Chains A and B, each alone.
Chain A
Amino acid sequence: MQSDTHDDPVQVAYRRDGRRVFATLVRLLGDFDLAEDALQNAFAAAAERWPQDGMPANPVAWLVSAGRFRAIDQIRRQRRAAPWSEVDEKAESLPDPAPLPEDRDVLEDDRLRLIFTCCHPSLSEQAAVALTLREICGLSTEAVASACLVAPATLAQRIVRAKTKIRDARIPYEVPDAPDLPARLGQVLRVVYLVFNEGYSAAQGTDVLRPDLTAEAIRLARLLLELLPEPEVRSLLALMVLQDSRRAARTDGAGDLVPLDAQDRALWDTAAIAEGRALARDALGSGRAGSYSLQAAIAACHAVAPAPEATDWAAIAGFYDALLSIEPSPVVALNRAVAVGMRDGPEAGLPLVDALLQGGLDQYHLAHAAKADLLRRAGRGAEARASYAAALALTRQEPERRFLARRMADLDR
């Protein structure tokens, strides 16, 4: 396919509808690899026919039937070459030519089926992230490998293993029924948020070829919200949009992390903040607030504060209380302790952080860093230094190490 003309209708259709067509082909052919081949063949056919015959009225339906037709053709040819193989069975089991998939709902369901299959809870989260980026977002294997910071061969193997499991363990290509939906959707959202965090915490600007995973995750959440307008989907989108609104202020010229209270708030993206707040408000107002709704509400509190001193820590601590009650995890408790320390003063936060350190977070660098910050604010410099050193000893990430070292050096000033 040519790539020089970006308004070539085949190219446009590939970018806009490629994954949609793929999702339907997976259902019709019952196999990811067969569907991928069929997709490529369908677009090759389009590149040949569309310039002559003109654009079909319904390009998606045209591409689906072209892909399906070529896949069946391919299976038949294989059957002739290897009459004893299981190919026979495969061709027999293909569904009859379905009515042309003009029904929008059926197509949209296929996209949801693809999402729920790639994020099936029986797949490891690592495998689900790789599959999601490859099959739903349509990134190349090389791009996904670079995004996940692994060798392309490792990533390719991870994807092959996941597809083999889908096929051999027979993970069904379906949208879960109502009773299973909340848990299954929770897993999908976890995978989307993992993709986002993978992009959010990665070293910034070192590799221009590295795909922007935060943008992919936000795009995924928008698609999911369109297909499944649930409050938690809306909330996760709000949370990511709000976190991403601080992108320009999160790192300085040297690529070092800038903490929230030191960020230049003029660099925050006001349009993104407005969108994120509106989404968060809608979700909270639905009366079915879950974990992401509360996290989005907290992010919104930070986003609207014109200065760090103006942050509504009482509201934030309240949201953390609620979050802790539905998601009792030590990390949530740590964030709550920090918020309490901001609301009631460092001496109020310290015993909470100490209890968490003793209760199993002693290997978690952010717990030591939180304690160090509280001690610093309480004017207990020597103790703060020891805690920064403990945090530093536990983290491998370079920007984070530089940040902690800087905070430690600031104690001397």
Chain B
Amino acid sequence: MKYLCLVYLDRENWSACPDPVCADYAKHLAETGTLVAGEALHPVDTATTVRVRNGQAQLYDGPFAETKELLAGFYLIEASDLNEAIRVAGKIPPARYGSVEVRPIRQLQLDG
């Protein structure tokens, strides 16, 4: 089963966790076959939000919702159950500075 671990950081701690530390953990997860994908994101100042209404794309500067903690990166992992996913998420280095949201991946329903 796949879980998406979303890493959230506030602006003060955006760079608190050194990149090599994050990269090491991703490498470790990849070596144990746990990592499906993982990337870090540029700050939200670079974000553009796209909404389509009445067939028209509407663009907004910045993220959809203004919150204190902002999406900073993600790890898509393979885990047998939520307990294992939580164990993996708990070791994601930026969890010490921000928070990590663990979300189960849903299969698209294509046959109904």
Q: Is the CB of A168 within 8 A of B106?
A: yes
A171 pairs with B81, CB closer than 8 A: yes
B111 and A170 form a contact (CB under 8 A): no
- The answer to whether the Cβ of A169 comes within 8 Å of any Cβ in the partner chain is yes
Among A84, A85, A171, A176, point to the contact of B82 (Cβ < 8 A). A171
Say yes or no: B83 contacts A168, CB within 8 Å: no
Nearest-neighbour CB distance to chain A for B40, whole angstroms, equals 25
| CB–CB A172/B82 < 8 A | yes
Enumerate chain A residues within 8 angstroms of B102, measured Cβ to Cβ.
169
The proximity string for B residues 71-86 relative to A, scoring 1 for CB distances below 8 Å and 0 otherwise, is 0000000001111001
Chain B: minimal CB distance from A330 (Å): 24
Contacting residues of chain B (81-112) with chain A, CB-CB under 8 angstroms:
81-83, 86, 102-104, 106, 111
In the complex, A397 has a CB within 8 A of chain B = no
A122 touches B111 (CB 8 A): no
Is B44 positioned at the interface, with any CB of A under 8 Å from its CB? no
Q: Is the CB of B86 within 8 A of A122?
A: yes
**B83 and A169 form a contact (CB under 8 A):** no
22 A-B residue contacts at CB 8 Å? Answer: A84-B111, A85-B111, A120-B82, A122-B82, A122-B86, A168-B104, A168-B106, A169-B102, A169-B104, A170-B1, A170-B80, A170-B81, A170-B82, A171-B81, A171-B83, A172-B80, A172-B81, A172-B82, A172-B83, A174-B83, A176-B83, A180-B83
Q: A169-B102, A171-B81, A172-B80 are in contact. List 20 more A-B contacts (CB 8 A).
A: A84-B111, A85-B111, A122-B82, A122-B86, A168-B104, A168-B106, A169-B82, A169-B103, A169-B104, A170-B1, A170-B80, A170-B81, A170-B82, A171-B82, A172-B81, A172-B82, A172-B83, A174-B83, A176-B83, A180-B83
List A contacts of B80 (CB < 8 A): 170, 172
Per DSSP, are chain A's interface residues mostly helix, strand or loop, or mixed?
loop
Bound-state Cα–Cα, A124 to B111, Å: 33
Q: Point out residues on B near A: beta carbons under 8 Å.
A: 1, 80-83, 86, 102-104, 106, 111
CA distance A171 to B102 in the complex (A): 12
Q: How far is it, in angstroms, between the C-alpha of A18 and the C-alpha of B82 when the chains are bound? A: 28
Measured between beta carbons, the chain B residues less than 8 angstroms from A170 are: 1, 80-82, 104
Residues 170-183 of chain A: 1 if any B CB is under 8 Å from the residue's CB, otherwise 0? 11101010001000
Residues on A lying within 8 angstroms of B by beta carbon are 84-85, 120, 122, 168-172, 174, 176, 180
CA distance A172 to B79 in the complex (A): 11
Closest to A120 in B: B82
B-chain residues with CB within 8 Å of residue A85 when the two chains form the complex: 111
List the A side residues contacting B1 at CB < 8 Å. Answer: 170
Shortest Cβ distance from B81 into A: residue:
A172
Q: A171 to chain B: which residues have CB within 8 Å?
A: 81-83
Say how far B106's CB is from chain A's closest CB, in angstroms.
7
Nearest residue (CB) in A for B3 is A169
Please report the C-alpha to C-alpha distance between residue A122 and residue B87 in the assembled complex, in whole angstroms: 12
CB distance from A275 to the nearest CB of B (A): 36
Q: Which residue of A lies closest to B1 (CB)?
A: A170
B106: chain A residues at CB < 8 Å are 168
* Closest CB in chain A relative to B30 CB, distance in Å: 22
Q: Which A residue sits closest to B107, measured CB to CB? A: A86
Residues of B within 8 Å of A174, CB to CB, are 83
A163 CB → nearest B CB, Å: 14
Across the two chains, which residue of chain B brings its CB closest to A184?
B83
Q: Which residue of B lies closest to A122 (CB)?
A: B82
Which of B80, B82, B103, B104 is most buried by chain A, counting CB atoms within 10 A of its CB?
B82
Closest 3 CB pairs of A and B: A172-B81, A169-B104, A170-B81
- Which residues of chain B come closer than 8 Å to A84, judged between CB atoms? 111
Q: When chains A and B are docked, how far (Å) is the Cα of A168 from the Cα of B104?
A: 7
Chain B residue contacts of A180, Cβ below 8 A:
83
**Residue of A with least CB distance to B79:** A170
A177 closest partner in B (C-beta): B83
A176 proximity list for chain B (CB < 8 A): 83
Bound complex: CA A195 to CA B100 (Å): 30
Q: Nearest Cβ in chain B — how far from A102, in angstroms?
A: 28
Chain A hits for B83, CB < 8 A: 171-172, 174, 176, 180
Report which residue of A120, A168, A170 has the largest number of chain B beta carbons within 10 angstroms of its beta carbon.
A170
